[in-house]
A and B are shown apart, each in its own frame.
Chain A
Amino acid sequence: MKYLITDNTSGAVRLEDIPELSYEAFYDDLAARLSEPRYHVAHYFAVPSGDRMRFYCLLLDDAEGRILVTSHAMEYYDATALPSLTARHAQMHPFERDITERYGIRFDGQPWPKPLRFPADRYDRRSSMDNYPFYTMEGRSLHEVNVGPIHAGIIEPGAFRFICNGEQVLHLEIALGYQHRGVERAFEETSNRLRQACLAEAVAGDSAVAHALAFAEAIERLTGCQRPAQLDRERAVALELERMAMQIADTGALSTDVGYQLGQVACEALRTMTINTTQAWCGNRFGKGLVRPHGSNHPLTAEKSAMIRRNVGEIARRYEEVRHDICSSPSLLARFEQCGVVPRDEMLRIGGVGQAARASGVARDIRTTHPSGSYAKCLRHETIVEQQGDVMARLVVRCREVLQSARHIDRLLAIYEEKYAATENPCGVPDYTAPLQPSTLSFGLVEGWRGETCHVALTDAAGRLATYRIKDPSLHNWLALALAVRGEGISDFPICNKSFNLSYCGHDL
């Protein structure tokens, strides 16, 4: 047995049941599997315990909906370098870089041995933001453009360095870490589960629902409690509302960057309407406070359900008009089409996920491949895929997803109105004290609007949350942005960037 096999509807797994391979066996098997597009790594991290270092790997199998869990271990003070998997499969790069940066473990042959996020507890204190080893090229006709860490707009910080030949971008390197706040450590340092839930919402505030949901699922697996189906449905409504709001916001942002003011203002108004719907439901425009372990503080009522259905229907109708206008404006299509192309094989190679991967013909969507909750039961979710991999394809995926989410919300609320409208809070109330199973690994795997959001929690022998690891989809996808702008004019960078809209804080943690 090389892997412990589970799926997204099963419970937590005991640490002792997870196989522990030798690194050679782990390397050989993973390297072989990752050559097939059906597999990609959802998380790979190291956990020191005593004088040992154990490495856990969660591998997703899209074809059969399985989650394969395995591990390997070494002595803490063992200084031998491990052969790098990144050298064969580029998608491993953020994980290996993270392990090296935290614990000083070296990966032999790692082609991109650079810091990832400069965490406060990094192994090498000499490495700092100021001496990030940017890639350089020599040549009399080349110049470098440095952008950041502070950007022109009201957005988060990150440093972008372009190497250009005239107007053309030859290479873009993205150096992140400015947003590092120590989120994972903050999870581990507290036993106040409400505080942990609030931390999950703050991982990336624009994906508050997705991260809170991943946290809640991880915790509920650890407590072993069953969720009522209605709770799953309400969470799915919240998640799809968040998706709608953000996809609309990004449609607006793309419109802004090409000077298409009508689309910009229409999307701004539609986004306001979407997030105000969330606010009228739970009191916060980003859905903070909506998802809590084991229950809900903001159960739907018949009036709220009717209000959400009415608003979502109206938003979808008006958004469809905007979409139609974009598709019938040649001047917009000229900017969006064939710009920032990431071909399918590149996307697979770097392990891209979510909306960006789907725009490059990679049908990765947790809601389809690893469904849980309502997605496994009452929703028939179909993955939306576009093939071109350009800015337009990413926009079209957004457009189609807004309409799809609107349909999902309508369906979920129709079920609610039919079955529960007269019941007071069929979801139950949140529970922050339920004991966790000791020495267990659990995870939350959720398709947020950016893509696959994965939280992994490990408890110690006393049932305390000892290790908490978060992966935002941006961790995979930042590299896709860097590849997308190669060969493009530097003036097209803003629309390439907006077409991905990746998270800085979700990456930096």
Chain B
Amino acid sequence: MIFPKIKVLRSHGRQAIPDLDAVALTSEFRGRPELSEAADSAEQSAVEQAAALCPTGALCAAPLSIDLGRCLFCGECARKAPRNIRFTNDYRLGSPTREGLVIRPGDTHVAFDMTRVRPELARLFSRSLHLREVSAGGDASIEMELNATGNVNFDFGRFGVGFTASPRHADGVVVTGPVSANMVEALEICYDAVATPKLLIACGSEACSGGLFAESRAVDRSFFERHTPDLWLPGAPTHPMIFIDGIRTLLGQKKREQP
């Protein structure tokens, strides 16, 4: 039965994005926020209202800042205080340090401090990187986005980056979700099973900070006290381009402006 297949193929056409480094997302996409200091008391009170509404406490009114590691990119703060908070569609949100995720007035990009990246990472993994993903309370959207990094459109595999089933075959672990207490042991065992030298990536705002569940008794963040990620990727969920950009920058294949 070849004719139906030819039809599918013809409609399918060419799907791969030709240049992953040149992707621009739709203007609706909420990526890196831009902040400006409140100029008067009306603006200041708008910012304070926004901070009170923020579902995760990512927004701090004084001094004004947004912690992307907690932000859900719901965009409500920008509606409350449109003159001081604006979301751009910039998806280059990853950072090698947790502090790098904090955005302050005037910041025009998320800092990517290459001096804080272990120098051997580029040498070891830039030609082939295989990751084991562990979902520890992830809500399935973020897992689907990570799957999507390897699909026909993004095809991250073209750079030798992919996901593998066994931690024994993996060069590192990607953690999604706030780390539920019921999963913490399995996560630890899995991370332990990956041979050194290895990478650790916290993917999604929930993994970075616990997100909505930061205070939940059912969540156990001790894993991140024992191990420090090499890369922090915000997002709820993390768009495939945030992941791709983060890994490529980490491995020195792509440059981010320096302050």
Contact = CB atoms under 8 A, between A and B. Distances in A.
Interface residues of B, number: 66
B147 interface: yes
Contact of B216 (A120, A269, A289): A120
B151 A155 contact: no
Interface string A191-215: 0101101110011111010000000
Interface in A208-267: 208, 249, 262-263, 265-266
Interface stretch (A16-24, A72-80, A98-106, A172-180): A172-180
A269 B76 contact: no
Interface in B132-175: 133-148, 151-153, 163, 165
Interface in A296-323: 297, 317-318, 321-322
Given A205-B142, A322-B8, A328-B4, A279 B152 contact: no
Interface stretch (B33-41, B179-187, B222-230): B179-187
B141 A185 contact: no
B165 A152 contact: yes
A505 B140 CA distance: 8
A285 B239 contact: yes
Given A181-B219, A288-B74, A280 B28 contact: yes
B47 interface: no
A266 B28 contact: no
A194 B213 CA distance: 14
A437 B5 CA distance: 58
Interface string A164-190: 000000000000011111110110010
B73 A284 contact: yes
A198 B212 contact: yes
Interface in B167-216: 177-178, 180-183, 185-186, 190, 206, 211-213, 215-216
Nearest to B15: A269
Interface in A309-351: 317-318, 321-322, 324-325, 328-330
B182 A118 contact: yes
Contact of A272 (B26, B134, B151, B213): B151
A266 B237 CA distance: 23
Contacts of B8: 262-263, 266, 318, 321-322, 325
A505 B185 CA distance: 18
A283 interface: yes
Contacts of B151: 265, 268-269, 272
A357 interface: no
A1 interface: no
Q: Which of A149, A185, A262, A317 has the most CB of B within 10 A?
A: A149
B5 A262 contact: yes
B22 interface: no
A286 B73 CA distance: 13
8 contacts: A178-B180, A179-B182, A199-B55, A205-B139, A208-B141, A263-B8, A318-B8, A321-B11
**6 A-B pairs closest in CB distance:** A205-B141, A205-B139, A182-B218, A195-B55, A120-B218, A152-B165
Given A179-B183, A181-B219, 10 more contacts: A180-B182, A182-B217, A185-B218, A206-B139, A208-B141, A262-B12, A268-B148, A279-B26, A325-B4, A328-B4
